[in-house]
Amino acid sequence: MGSCSSQSCQSCFFEYETERMIVVKSKVVGSVFRLIQFLILVYVIGYVCVVQKSYQETDSVISSVTTKVKGTGFTNTSDLGARVWDVADYNIPPQGDSSFFVLTNMIVTPNQTQSTCPELPNQSTICMSDSDCLEGSNDVRGNGIQTGLCMNYKETVKTCEVLSWCPLEIDINLPERNILPDVNSSYLKQCEFNRKTDPYCPIFRLKDMVSEAEEDFQTMAIRGGVLGIMIDWSCDLDWPEHHCGPKYSFRRLDNKIPENNVAPGYNFRFAKYYKTTDGRETRTLIKAYGILFDVIVFGTAGKFNMVPTIVNLGAALTFLSLVSSVKWSHLQNTHYL
């Protein structure tokens, strides 16, 4: 019994099987068969090869971006008067890697000193008498430490007195600025980015970048915001090198809807400190509003490689042979029925 089993295994090992070929003369069956083959070829050639470029070996982009801001601006406000702003004034911090900030609006509170003054009025600071103020209390949304006294903020409003940098900053009404149309002309050096005429130029005007993101520069400059500079660096290395270039797009990244955002826009505070002739320390508090530009680079590079080409070619041939097998199986079932 064991000997028979051994001979059977040996005979099976040295056997060779081939599929039975049959020619079916039918317009319907032939049309369906050729249609399926055509669809497979379209999928392999059109999608796999042309769109996905699966015959290539690909790798993702590793980037390092440096930015530089140039230009001057002009403002004429009641606080500062006529003033020209250069890069040292509005570009904070002066150097950036993949992001940079441009000052577009500000609130200046000059000559602040360490002293006491009435707190800004809100639900937790408005008082009628000293009993409404708790000495040593510190409100998270406040500006200092309460002294326990109720002081006149205005003729009709009293608030709790605080120990803080006085006078306090009032940022309720933001100044509206008229920005000249050519204020950013000094940003241009040799070229200017234009999606149609010069899409590869890496020199941009602030107004153009904001417009590309479908935002209004005058509106965005008041409260600030975050703007993404998207650089798509996808290259087909099978073509000459000059065909490989970046594609720029712009998108606003912060939430500009006040109802869904506690602090819409983008702002921060910084101070400049001084000492008077009598040795007392004073400071000028500046609440800076502006646009934070975040540079985001992404993309892939692909080049012809034999391994993925053979793999995808084998997959295509497998699909084509599968169609024949399915048809042959269907015909066999029809014959036996």
pLDDT digits (tens, 9 = 90+) for 279-330: 888 988 888 888 888 888 888 888 888 888 888 788 777 777 776 655 545 5
Kindly state whether residue 37 falls inside one of the protein's structural domains.
yes
83 is in an annotated binding site: no
Whether the upstream peptide bond of residue 202 has omega within 30° of 0, thus cis, is no
Residues 96 and 232 grouped into a single domain: yes
Regarding whether 126 and 267 lie in a shared domain, the answer is no
Helix (H, G, I), strand (E, B) or coil at 189: coil
- Angle, CA of 9, 10 and 11, to the nearest 5°: 95
CA separation for the pair 105, 319 (Å, rounded): 63
Which residues form the domain of 208? 73-114+165-302
Query: How many domains are there within the chain?
Result: 3
Reference 89, options 104, 76, 107; nearest CA is 104
Q: Parallel, antiparallel, or unpaired for β 300-304 and 235-236?
A: parallel
User: In terms of domains, do 96 and 196 share one?
Assistant: yes
- Pairwise CA distance, residues 299 & 62, whole Å: 9
User: Does 102 share its domain with 250?
Assistant: yes
pTM: 0.58
Do 32 and 151 fall into the same domain? Answer: no
Under DSSP, the state recorded for 49 is I
> Is 275 a known ligand-binding residue?
no
Whether 297 and 187 share a structural domain: yes
Tell me the three state secondary structure of residue 35. Answer: helix
103 and 204 inside one domain: yes
pLDDT single digits (tens) 5-37: 566 666 667 777 766 666 667 778 778 878 888
Omega before 167 cis (within 30°)? yes
DSSP state at residue 19: P
C-beta separation of 183 from 74 below 8 A: yes
**Domain check: are 169 and 296 in the same one?**
yes
Distances, alpha carbon 233 to alpha carbons 133, 200, 243, 297, in Å: 60, 11, 11, 7
Q: What is the pLDDT of residue 261?
A: 65
- Report the CATH number that the domain containing residue 199 is assigned in CATH: 2.60.490.10
Q: Is 287 annotated as a binding residue?
A: yes
| 189-197 average pLDDT score | 71
Check the annotation: does 50 bind a ligand: no
Are 86 and 217 members of one domain?
yes
d(CA 146, CA 318): 80
In a domain, 120, yes or no: yes
Task: Please tell me whether residues 279 and 154 are part of one structural domain.
Answer: no
Query: Which tens digits make up the pLDDT trace of 131-188?
Result: 999 998 887 778 899 999 999 998 899 999 999 999 998 877 666 664 334 333 333 3
Contact between 111 and 118 under an 8 Å Cβ cutoff? The reply is: no
Q: What are the residues facing 284 on neighbouring strands? A: 272
| Within a domain: 293 | yes
Same domain, 328 and 198: no
Residue 68 included in any domain: no
Q: Is residue 49 part of a domain?
A: yes
**Is 27 among the annotated ligand-binding positions?**
no
Share of the chain above pLDDT 70, in %: 80
CATH classification at residue 327 = 1.10.287
> Does the annotation list 196 as a binding residue?
no
- As given in the structure block, the two tokens for residue 186 are 């000094």
pLDDT band at 206 (very low <50, low <70, confident <90, very high): confident
- Give domain status of residue 44, yes or no: yes
For residue 79, tell me if it sits in a domain. Answer: yes
Asked whether residue 149 is assigned to any structural domain, the reply reads yes
3-state helix, strand, coil in the chain (%, to 5): 30, 30, 40
Same domain, 103 and 125: no
Q: Answer yes or no: is 205 a known binding residue.
A: no
